[in-house]
């Protein structure tokens, strides 16, 4: 069981591999396989991918290292980690808890789709390839069905998180992540052999920077944060379970590389096939649910069916290992700061998440309240991915760079001088000066251009929420 009271030793990861797999499990999820391809498709392809990679290397890596260092140094989860150093900074942790709640307000909806597709494929979806596209649209706009799958998905999360961190997640990750990786390679190879597929590779890898505006840049930044699970304390929480002798830099490099590798691989699995099928790259959130079944239907026979099943089983598990880390951020806040018992904390946060998910799911069928013409699903996505995570990451860097001491950080990252990290100075200056500045510029420019639609207003609302959290943080 996870226990955060300082008197008792903190539960630690069973093994080094266990930690990497769990952190990579948090990172690799729907963000890589569902969100990355469709966002790249909607944002012009190659240029988006290039900017995303730039952000992963120069911002993502450094922020992840910062989160692991803060987590391990304090041995506390998101809110406690900041609070124990300086109460005024606890709003950064609170923002993280809020992001966790809001992301869990739509993530289980998509996780539910993924489980539903296991069932749909098992019951003959692939035998009518012409119907695959319409079937997705009909399914997600149905008011009832997706809700049942969402409930099942959330229930699985509850089961895992109620048991505490190191058991379930560690085991599931170790087996199923490599499996998913292998299936993605098979899907890619299959896609690349279809006639006309090379256009897809060109779309993904030859950047046309003339399509880039500040919206695309902010989308790439948001994607980097979302995909690497950064900016909300998930990696602080996971880092707090990390043993003192582990090499933080190496762990960060491995997790970043795995996460980015899977995203790029998902792109290679999706776009060549899509171009071969003559589909629109800007197909939206349905992309993976349409392209992948279509590809396996094309493959035909038992092999096609089996691989399609394994793909959606793998995707569901990848989604689960991510969403449990989201739930864990909220749950450890309720346990550590509000003194709740683990089961109570899990159940009460899940009730809130389930209610948000109902709004999100219904909004895709055009049902329920909207704000500036935007439905709940898009609002939660916009607020978290474009504002909370990036701005949260900015504050995490400011906290590390300006509130913590340079030599404390150096000691933590180098394990008191035992591990060499020649780039420490570069990392420190990035975290202290460059990253906060860059995030501020990208976010402001993105918000300004968002005013063409209702999105700007919603993003400003996000900033107001952050401001309120900062004002009231001492009470939380
Ligand atoms: N990184 C996860 C994914 O790609 C989502 C996530 C975001 C998880 C933030 C935890 C924190 O699916």
| pTM more than 0.85 | yes
Where in 107-206 does DSSP place strands (E)? none
Say if residues 292 and 274 touch (Cβ distance below 8 Å). no
H or E element in which residue 278 lies: none
Task: Map tokens 């599931």 to a residue.
Answer: 172
Of 208, 173, 183, which Cα lies nearest the Cα of 51?
A: 208
Cβ of residue 229 lying under 6 Å from some atom of ligand 1? yes
In the structure encoding, which two tokens stand for residue 166, read together?
């190191």
Q: What local confidence, expressed as pLDDT, does residue 209 receive?
A: 96
The mean predicted confidence, pLDDT, of the chain is 92
Beta-carbon contacts of residue 267 (< 8 Å; ≥ 6 apart): 36, 37, 40, 49, 204
In the structure encoding, which two tokens stand for residue 372, read together?
């500036």
Of 317, 341, 348, 322, which Cα lies nearest the Cα of 2?
A: 341
Of 226, 216, 222, 233, which Cα lies nearest the Cα of 387?
A: 222
Cβ of residue 322 lying under 6 Å from some atom of ligand 1? yes
Of 181, 239, 191, 185, which Cα lies nearest the Cα of 23?
A: 239
**Given ligand 1 and candidates 25, 27, 387, which is best to mutate, with the most ligand atoms within 8 Å of its CB?**
27
- Phi and psi dihedrals of 429, rounded to 5? -70, -35
Atom of ligand 1 nearest to the CA of 28: 4
Q: What local confidence, expressed as pLDDT, does residue 166 receive?
A: 55
Q: What local confidence, expressed as pLDDT, does residue 2 receive?
A: 42
In the structure encoding, which two tokens stand for residue 420, read together?
């060499």
In the structure encoding, which two tokens stand for residue 397, read together?
């860097």
Helix, strand, or coil here: 370?
Answer: strand
H or E element in which residue 158 lies: helix 145-162
Full set of structural domains in the chain with CATH:
16-473 (1.20.1740.10)
* Total length of the chain: 476
Say if residues 239 and 68 touch (Cβ distance below 8 Å). yes
pLDDT surpassing 70 at residue 9: no
Q: What is the pLDDT of residues 177-203, one digit of tens each?
A: 788 899 999 999 999 999 999 999 999
Say if residues 319 and 149 touch (Cβ distance below 8 Å). no
Q: What is the pLDDT of residues 413-437, one digit of tens each?
A: 999 999 999 999 999 999 999 999 9
For ligand 1, the distance from its centroid to the CA atom of residue 177, given in whole angstroms, is: 15
The DSSP string of 449-467 is HHTTSTHHHHHHHHHHHHH
Atom of ligand 1 nearest to the CA of 326: 10
Q: What is the pLDDT of residues 368-381, one digit of tens each?
A: 999 999 999 999 99
Ligand 1, atom 4, residue with closest C-alpha: 31
**Given ligand 1 and candidates 234, 256, 285, which is best to mutate, with the most ligand atoms within 8 Å of its CB?**
234
Other Cβ atoms closer than 10 A to 144: 9
Cβ of residue 388 lying under 6 Å from some atom of ligand 1? no
Higher per-residue confidence, 35 vs 20: 35
Cβ of residue 237 lying under 6 Å from some atom of ligand 1? no
Cα 253 to the center of its chain, rounded Å: 17
Burial of 41 (0-12, 13-18, 19+ CB in 10 A): buried
pLDDT confidence of 7, banded at 50, 70, 90? very low
pLDDT surpassing 60 at residue 6: no
Q: What local confidence, expressed as pLDDT, does residue 179 receive?
A: 83
Torsion of CA 430, 226, 347, 1, to 10 degrees: -50
Q: What local confidence, expressed as pLDDT, does residue 72 receive?
A: 95
Q: How distant, in Å, are the alpha carbons of 31, 38, 381 from that of 35?
A: 5, 6, 11
- Phi and psi dihedrals of 247, rounded to 5? -85, 105
In the structure encoding, which two tokens stand for residue 267, read together?
């792109």
Say if residues 216 and 43 touch (Cβ distance below 8 Å). yes
Atom of ligand 1 nearest to the CA of 29: 12
pLDDT confidence of 296, banded at 50, 70, 90? very high
**Given ligand 1 and candidates 56, 325, 329, which is best to mutate, with the most ligand atoms within 8 Å of its CB?**
325
Q: Give the whole-angstrom CA distance, residue 455 versus residue 33.
A: 24
- What percentage of the chain exceeds 90 in pLDDT? 79
pLDDT surpassing 50 at residue 18: yes
In the structure encoding, which two tokens stand for residue 389, read together?
């995570």
């Amino acid at each position: 069981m996870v226990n955060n009271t300082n008197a008792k030793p903190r539960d630690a990861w069973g093994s080094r591999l266990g930690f990497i797999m769990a952190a990579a499990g948090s990172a690799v999820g729907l963000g890589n396989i569902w969100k990355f391809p469709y966002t790249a498709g909607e944002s012009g392809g190659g240029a988006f991918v290039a900017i995303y990679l730039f952000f992963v290397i120069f911002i993502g890596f450094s922020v992840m290292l910062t989160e692991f260092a803060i987590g391990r140094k304090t041995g506390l989860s998101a809110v406690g980690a900041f609070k124990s150093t300086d109460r005024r900074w606890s709003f950064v942790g609170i923002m993280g808890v809020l992001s966790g709640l809001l992301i869990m307000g739509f993530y289980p909806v998509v996780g539910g789709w993924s489980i539903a597709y296991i069932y749909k494929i098992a019951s003959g979806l692939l035998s009518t390839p012409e119907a695959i596209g319409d079937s997705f649209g009909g399914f997600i706009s149905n008011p009832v069905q997706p809700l049942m799958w969402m409930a099942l998905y959330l229930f699985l999360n509850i089961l895992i998180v109620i048991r505490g961190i190191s058991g379930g997640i560690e085991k599931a990750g170790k087996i199923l992540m490599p499996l998913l990786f292998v299936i993605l390679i098979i899907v890619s190879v299959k896609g690349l052999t279809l006639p006309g597929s090379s256009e897809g590779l060109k779309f993904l890898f030859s950047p046309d920077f003339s399509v880039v505006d500040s919206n695309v840049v902010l989308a790439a930044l948001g994607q980097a944060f979302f995909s690497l699970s950064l900016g909300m304390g998930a990696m602080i929480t996971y880092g707090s379970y990390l043993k003192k002798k582990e090499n933080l830099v190496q762990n960060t490099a491995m997790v970043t590389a795995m996460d980015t590798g899977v995203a790029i691989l998902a792109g290679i699995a999706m776009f060549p096939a899509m171009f071969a099928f003559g589909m629109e790259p800007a197909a939206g959130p349905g992309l993976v649910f349409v392209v992948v079944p279509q590809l396996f239907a094309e493959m035909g026979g038992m092999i096609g069916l089996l691989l399609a099943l394994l793909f959606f089983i793998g995707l569901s598990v990848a989604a689960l290992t991510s969403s449990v880390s989201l739930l864990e951020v909220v749950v450890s806040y309720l346990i550590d700061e509000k003194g709740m018992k683990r089961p109570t904390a899990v159940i009460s946060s899940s009730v809130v998440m389930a209610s948000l998910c109902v709004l999100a799911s219904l909004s895709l069928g055009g049902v329920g309240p909207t704000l500036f013409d935007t439905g709940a699903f898009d609002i939660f996505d916009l607020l978290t991915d474009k504002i909370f995570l990036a701005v949260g990451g900015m504050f995490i860097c400011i906290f590390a760079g300006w509130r913590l001491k340079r030599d404390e950080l150096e000691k933590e990252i180098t394990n008191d001088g035992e591990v060499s990290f020649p780039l420490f100075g570069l990392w420190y200056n990035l975290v202290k000066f460059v990253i906060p500045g860059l995030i501020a510029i990208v976010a402001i420019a993105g918000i300004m251009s968002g005013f063409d639609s209702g999105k700007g207003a919603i993003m400003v609302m996000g900033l107001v929420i952050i401001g309120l959290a900062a004002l009231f943080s001492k009470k939380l």
